[in-house]
């Protein structure tokens, strides 16, 4: 299996069917792990429409703790060589995952990020999020020297054994800074390619809030000094 896609879904009844279908229609040998993260709308019912697919695994979280908690729950089931997170909205185009995987395999890379910043046609939801993302990226580069352009991108494609070895502790939206920090602490090269991005607004269901940005800053600072697991980095170009 080339790729595992982890898809946490929380109250995404408007987009769940479409985004799941888009991922399953990719011309890739992949495994899709859908985590129903305590949804209270019809998301769970929609997910069950795909339960009979041989490459789909479904986890049902009774309580919504956060995106990070859902990722941690689904990760042990990942069997693909690489693993990536797919949000349940339509902000990111799954078609970009094909190019990201190609780069990973061509370069025998341990990590490939999809950068919205590198695509001048990427949309902007709110200016404060744009500048907040730039700040997080600058802090990550300053603390870890990772040389990236988009710290908070959802599309972080990482070799599965590396991601599992991280022993992720995230519960909400700290997944991104925790992963960046642990890659940086292990001096793992992060490759980037430009991706498409069409953000949604709060009234359309956007869930991240300003305080999640503060939590991300704290996470980047915390892992600069906290001990982290040793990652299996014997292969890297």
Domains of the chain: 3-225 (3.90.550.10)
CB atoms within 10 A of CB 220: 23
| Separation CA 96–CA 126 (nearest Å) | 23
Distances (CA, A) of 139 to 85, 89, 132, 146, 161: 23, 27, 11, 10, 27
Average pLDDT over residues 32-38: 96
142-173 pLDDT tens trace: 999 999 999 999 999 999 999 999 999 988 77
Helix (H) or strand (E) holding 46: helix 43-48
Query: Does the pLDDT value for residue 141 go beyond 90?
Result: yes
Question: Residue 19: its pLDDT value, please?
Answer: 97
Query: Does the pLDDT value for residue 212 go beyond 90?
Result: no
Average pLDDT over residues 53-78: 93
Structure tokens at 155: 């599309």
| Separation CA 83–CA 99 (nearest Å) | 14
| Separation CA 217–CA 213 (nearest Å) | 6
Question: Residue 63: its pLDDT value, please?
Answer: 87
Which residues lie below 8 Å from residue 218, measured CB to CB, with a gap of 6+? none
| Lowest-pLDDT choice from 113-122, 179-188, 189-198 | 113-122
Query: Does the pLDDT value for residue 183 go beyond 60?
Result: yes
Percent of the chain beyond pLDDT 70? 89
Split at pLDDT 50, 70, 90, the class of 203 is: very low
Pairing of strands 82-85, 156-159: antiparallel
| Separation CA 75–CA 237 (nearest Å) | 25
Q: For tokens 């890739």, name the residue.
A: 28
- Contact in structure between 146 and 140 (CB atoms under 8 Å): yes
Split at pLDDT 50, 70, 90, the class of 77 is: very high
The rounded mean pLDDT for the chain is 90
- Contact in structure between 133 and 152 (CB atoms under 8 Å): yes
| Separation CA 182–CA 230 (nearest Å) | 9
| Separation CA 95–CA 116 (nearest Å) | 14
Question: Residue 119: its pLDDT value, please?
Answer: 92
Average pLDDT over residues 185-213: 75
DSSP state of 123: -
Q: For tokens 């991240």, name the residue.
A: 208
86-131 pLDDT tens trace: 999 999 999 999 999 999 999 999 999 999 999 988 766 656 667 6
Question: Residue 199: its pLDDT value, please?
Answer: 78
Q: Higher-confidence residue: 204 or 215?
A: 215
Question: Residue 139: its pLDDT value, please?
Answer: 96
**Neighbouring C-alpha atoms within 13 Å toward the C-beta of 202:** 5
């Amino acid at each position: 299996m080339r790729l595992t896609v982890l898809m946490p879904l929380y109250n995404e009844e408007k987009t769940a069917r479409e985004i799941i279908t888009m991922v399953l229609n990719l011309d890739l040998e992949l495994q899709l792990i859908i985590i129903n993260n305590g949804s209270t709308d019809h998301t769970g019912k929609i997910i069950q429409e795909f339960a009979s697919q041989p490459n789909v695994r479904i986890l049902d979280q009774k309580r919504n703790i956060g995106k990070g908690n859902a990722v941690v729950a689904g990760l042990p089931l990942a069997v693909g060589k690489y693993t990536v997170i797919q949000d349940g909205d339509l902000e990111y185009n799954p078609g970009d995952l094909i190019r990201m995987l190609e780069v990973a395999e061509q370069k025998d890379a341990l990590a490939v990020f999809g950068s919205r910043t590198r695509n001048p046609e990427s949309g902007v939801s709110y200016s404060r999020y744009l500048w907040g993302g730039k700040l997080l990226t600058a802090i990550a580069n300053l603390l870890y020297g990772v040389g990236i352009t988009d710290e908070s991108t959802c599309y972080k494609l990482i070799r599965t054994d590396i991601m599992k070895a991280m022993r992720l502790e995230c519960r909400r939206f700290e997944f991104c800074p925790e992963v960046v920090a642990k890659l940086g602490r292990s001096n793992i090269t992060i490759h980037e390619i430009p991706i498409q991005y069409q953000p949604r607004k709060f009234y359309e269901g956007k869930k991240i809030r300003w305080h999640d940005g503060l939590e991300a800053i704290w996470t980047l600072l915390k892992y600069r000094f906290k001990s982290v697991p040793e990652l299996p980095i014997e292969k890297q170009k």
